[in-house]
Structure 1
Amino acid sequence: MSQYSTGEQGIGVTVITGFLGSGKSHFIRQLLKRPDAGRVAVIVNEIGRIGLDHLIYRHLSSRLVLLEGGCLCCQLHADLSQTLRELFMQAMQKKIPAFSHVIIETSGLADPSSIVFTLKHDFFLKERFYNAGVLCVVDSCHAEQQRQDNPEWLSQLLAADVVLLSKEDICPEKVPALKKRIKAIAMGVPVSSKSDLEEAEDLFGVLAALKQQGKQKLPAFGVRWQTAGRPSLKPQASHTDVDVITLTFGQALKRGRFIAALDAIAEKYGTALLRMKAVVQFAGDDRFYHVHGVHQQRSSFEVLDIEPQEPDSTTPCVVLIIKKGYWQEEDRTLFNVS
């Protein structure tokens, strides 16, 4: 039971937004490992024809739904509404375990204000769910570059009730200036460190309190909307033009060739490479590995927890999100398995 009273009735919906590679998935995974996360449903929205993020969640939640193929800020409003309806009815019919909270992870290009709009104006949803707040994850290392190049970064920040800084430990020298900029743009919105929220005993209660704290900071909130440009509360369809390149593999890859291909892609496309995610198997190794990157920064390889009976349903692939017009089709050959 939360020690913080929100006065709301129904199932809370927390939207977790943030630009590509900001750390949304990592934060949600840590949340789902908590002992108090047993009544949380998760909806994951990914751009592209193959979703990957759900692979790192599915052993942590029995109430997981993947919305792939587009942005929630664009054409998937009906899908979101239908998904919430189905989750609710399946729990009522005891086809899935009951849940008391929903997390929606948006794609890195989504404007979350459109999800808030859907929750507010869909009659079925507003009778059963309530907006528990928008948490915006901001990448401390790449925020300034993303702010300058991508309008979604600003839309996500302006829609936030709480801002969470990620990667502070990687780029600590950038944090003071970033906090100052965020407070100038999103006046009144609380800014938290990832470690503070991950260690909170009652995360959703803390988020509710922080959201309320932000509301109490009007008139700063009113000034923020007047000076920074009020985002539309209606669904928006325009965002950074990107190409989503999906490379699928029918067999295991040589580890050295795969790493060389990723390095070549990162060096060639530089900042035009917005995001890279992969699930891959290597020759002589039955395990599946997950790897991701932002621009030219790549994570280490992580073994995915995939049961022995599941490999046939897992597609080894690399998904690249690149600014439109930069991709060169011949670069597919970098990953040749022959």
Structure 2
Amino acid sequence: MNQNNMGKQGIGVTVITGFLGSGKSHFIRQLLKQPNAGQIAIIVNEIGQVGLDHLIYRHLSAQVALLEGGCLCCQLHADLSQTLRELFMLAMQKKIPAFRHVIIETSGLADPSAIVFTLKHDFFLKERFYNAGVLCVVDGCHAEQQQQDNPEWLSQLLAADVILLSKEDVCPEKLPDLKSRINALAMGVPVVSKPDLEETEDIFGVLATLKQQGKQKLAAFGTRWQAAGRQTLKPQVSHTDVDVITLTLGQAVKRGRFIAALDAMTKKYGTALLRMKALVQFVGDEHFYHVHGVHNQRSSFEILDIEPQERGGITLCVVLIIKKGYWEDKDRAVFS
């Protein structure tokens, strides 16, 4: 255990939050490439019925758990508690490698303050785990639009102990205004650049230090937290209304046609398309590819390292998260 956590008993839990497409998964992957990554367990929360992010992590960490179908800040508190219990007991029984830290990646629509509340008030958890901080990843390109349209963006920011700016190299012209806005909203919370954290050898020690530096938060957050504390383990939150559309592909597709279909969705739905993820195989190519996007930005296709014995359980699909009321079901035919 690093010197910044001396005196802490149990296993540290770091919550990584941020709106849809902000760059949470990419940052976690960088953490899992560090020398001590084997001591980290990952819990992934995805909305929708098909989880994809855990496929990216599971070849980087032996301890990956998926919570799918809802938001941790809403109906999945019992699942989170049970998952942490199971990971703890599996490690005690030496059925999985021992771990000294847990990362919880929330869905892009979750309010992380409810997770912190669960860690504090669940008796089994608080005896064995401690809150090692909330890191909020803020999208340097789309933050202004996300703040205006989605109440979760502000909840995530105000719950943060550390704020991490992503995509600084993509939209550098937006950074001065964004940093001023963040400072006005989350006064006293440290704001760091992605390369600064990715390059450190003691990421959790740095986060612990930054958390101590940022204890002076908005009074508004303190009031909101006290109100949440008087409720049950399920504080009421406001959500962006979305439809989660899962399109199962069933078989390999032609690369050009698939790209054209993605472009058609982006053009038609514009800013109403909050997030896109896909796991796909192309005709004549045995590899599995992962691609994701936010609004009109799309990543390149990335090969996933899927073992032969795992291939039978993989679902080829496209997952679209779209503002409620925009989706037209006839568009399923675009990917057929």
**TM tier relative to shorter chain:** over 0.9
Q: Which residue of 1 aligns with 2:232?
A: none
- The answer to whether the Cα contact below 8 Å between 2:135 and 2:161 also exists between their aligned partners in 1 is yes
Q: Which residue of 1 aligns with 2:317?
A: 317
Task: Quote the offset at 1:132 in angstroms.
Answer: 0.2
CA distance in 1, matches of 2:220, 2:87: 38
CA distance in 2, matches of 1:7, 1:179: 34
Task: Quote the offset at 1:2 in angstroms.
Answer: 1.4
When structure 1 is superposed on structure 2, of 234-243 and 324-333 the one drifting more is 234-243
Q: Which residue of 2 aligns with 1:82?
A: 82
Task: Quote the offset at 1:249 in angstroms.
Answer: 1.2
Q: Which amino acid aligns with 1:40?
A: I
Counterpart of 2:224 (choices 214, 220, 230) is 230
Partner deviation per Cα, 1:8-67 (whole Å, 9 max, x = no partner): 111000000000000000000110011021100000000000000001001011110000
Decide whether aligned partners of structure 1 residues 150 and 6 sit closer, same or farther in structure 2, where only a CA change above 3 A counts: farther
- The answer to whether the Cα contact below 8 Å between 1:140 and 1:175 also exists between their aligned partners in 2 is yes
Residues 1-338 of structure 1: matches in 2 within 5 Å?
1-215=1-215, 218=216, 221=217, 224-226=218-220, 230=224, 232-234=227-229, 235-336=235-336
CA distance in 2, matches of 1:184, 1:270: 29
- The answer to whether the Cα contact below 8 Å between 2:34 and 2:201 also exists between their aligned partners in 1 is no
Tell me, what secondary structure is at the counterpart of 2:4?
A: coil
Q: TM-score, normalised by structure 1?
A: 0.95
CA distance in 1, matches of 2:11, 2:118: 15
- The answer to whether the Cα contact below 8 Å between 1:134 and 1:161 also exists between their aligned partners in 2 is yes
For structure 1, which runs of at least 5 residues remain unmatched after alignment? none
CA distance in 2, matches of 1:309, 1:5: 40
Q: Which amino acid aligns with 1:233?
A: A
Q: TM-score, normalised by structure 2?
A: 0.96
For structure 2, which runs of at least 5 residues remain unmatched after alignment? 230-234
CA distance in 1, matches of 2:24, 2:221: 28
Task: Quote the offset at 1:251 in angstroms.
Answer: 1.0
Tell me, what secondary structure is at the counterpart of 2:60?
A: coil
Corresponding pairs, count: 330
CA distance in 1, matches of 2:75, 2:97: 29
Q: Which amino acid aligns with 1:200?
A: T
RMSD: 1.3
Percent identity for Structure 1 against Structure 2: 79
Q: Which amino acid aligns with 2:305?
A: D
Runs of 4+ in 1 over 6 A off after TM superposition: none
Tell me, what secondary structure is at the counterpart of 1:66?
A: strand
Task: Quote the offset at 1:75 in angstroms.
Answer: 0.2
CA distance in 1, matches of 2:261, 2:222: 41
